[in-house]
Structure 1
């Protein structure tokens, strides 16, 4: 099963200043020592407010926190998107597992997603019985490819990206991702497989320019570690990453793990 839990998820809090009092209001409320009215045109600030105003240019330069947005897709459920900081269309796609929620997963690594070109995530095309809002993928590889293409187009990637996109699959999504890499090697050129339910196939992934395998430390670590070794022996640049203290379907240290995975794929992808 691929139900994401909050255990291990990175919760981000963005602290914003309460605001700045207008100089005129400060002058009226505080006034100078002794109660004398300030001269006309004089700006009066408390020491605290002066410090806040001095820091204002610094705050204006800070990047806006990455956000997960729902994007309508014609004829399908919405896709979930984190925009890349470069402003270019997203270059990574994400497929969750059985009875999962794509948005929940994307919320575990939005900053890593934004820093590495943006991510588009889609839910499965079949409902999860008895669990509203959660879905499972059918095993129709061509259909999932069409759904990913439609989601990418809705997110702004209307033409195939030179060099292909990175495909991330968790559990069932990893197995479907493997099938997509095999069927559309030019389109899905880099891959991150997380906790695949069966041993990844070197033959199916031989076209990949680079691969990262991954698992929670309390999950199928040996399977995914072995897959990286077999892929490397088969000529595919590969490495294994492990998320600490979590079980199947969960994410731990999402920003760190996915950021490291995307950076490794960027650095080691063969031409």
Structure 2
């Protein structure tokens, strides 16, 4: 049987490792990684939520964006909650959409201080977010804010006050109905209720925004009670995909 030299060359590394002895296989395995792959490995950190210190404040939990970039999203947990588990629940979707920063509350709910809530002063929370983003080399501009329960309430007030900074929202289980009047300048919003949670506020919020010509949509999280984030990779990926496709264009800087 005749095999051309070109055909043998086309077998490449597979022919070396399958048809040769241990020494040849070892040499083949030691071949240098292609430059493009080596560069990718060098710049893509592990997909994990990392605790990052913030001077003068509680540490934050960060899933970086592509190539280790500082996050373009902020997650605000519910009253007496803890942001790490939420951020971990959708870390793959978070990275694909620019990374996420989980801001801990600044008011402890118990003596141990593990679980927290947010002080209602939005200027204080805005300052904490900007400081946290600065700690990882980023800036607070055209962010997506994801808020759950009390975090949704704070997110709405942040977007009302600084719509260019907190321009898009994903609100889950808000304690009050999101207001189109407050959010008239945002680029878009996704309202989410757990299937087993009270749904009327988030449905009404989405309907009000749509009536005011603000890009918005309502979604449900199957099987979820208040405070739960189930099937989070899929749910959050779809919500963030919707924002990418439907949010108003970013206004040009003056």
Q: What TM bracket, shorter-length normalisation? A: 0.7 to 0.9
Contact 1:167 1:191 in 2 (8 A): yes
More helix by share: 2
Question: How many Å separate the matches in 1 of 2:25 and 2:84?
Answer: 47
Q: Which runs of 5+ in 1 are unaligned?
A: 1-31, 33-37
Q: Which runs of 4+ in 1 moved over 2 A?
A: 41-45, 59-65, 86-89, 129-132
Partner of 2:242: 264
Q: Which runs of 5+ in 2 are unaligned?
A: 1-19, 250-254
Contact 2:45 2:68 in 1 (8 A): no
* Per-residue deviation, 1:155: 2.0
Question: How many Å separate the matches in 1 of 2:25 and 2:45?
Answer: 31
Question: How many Å separate the matches in 2 of 1:101 and 1:259?
Answer: 21
* Per-residue deviation, 1:202: 1.1
Partner of 2:96: 115
Match of 1:74 among 26, 30, 55: 55
Matched, 1:209 2:187: yes
Match of 1:134 among 111, 115, 120: 115
CA RMSD of aligned residues (A): 2.5
* Per-residue deviation, 1:269: 1.1
Question: How many Å separate the matches in 2 of 1:42 and 1:103?
Answer: 47
Higher relative contact order structure (alpha carbons within 8 Å, sequence separation ≥ 6): 1
Partner of 2:210: 232
Contact 1:127 1:135 in 2 (8 A): yes
* Per-residue deviation, 1:242: 1.2
* Per-residue deviation, 1:121: 1.0
Query: TM-score, length-normalised on structure 1?
Result: 0.75
Match of 2:165 among 187, 194, 207: 187
1:46-80 Cα shifts (integer Å, max 9, x gaps): xxxx9x99xx99x9889765210011101000011
Question: How many Å separate the matches in 2 of 1:267 and 1:213?
Answer: 16
Contact 1:218 1:245 in 2 (8 A): yes
Query: TM-score, length-normalised on structure 2?
Result: 0.80
Contact 1:113 1:119 in 2 (8 A): yes
SS in 2 for 1:232: helix
Shift in CA distance, 108/44, structure 1 to aligned 2, threshold 3 Å: closer
Match of 2:84 among 83, 99, 103: 103
Shift in CA distance, 131/199, structure 1 to aligned 2, threshold 3 Å: farther
Partner of 2:149: 171
Match of 2:131 among 132, 146, 150: 150
Shift in CA distance, 97/131, structure 1 to aligned 2, threshold 3 Å: farther
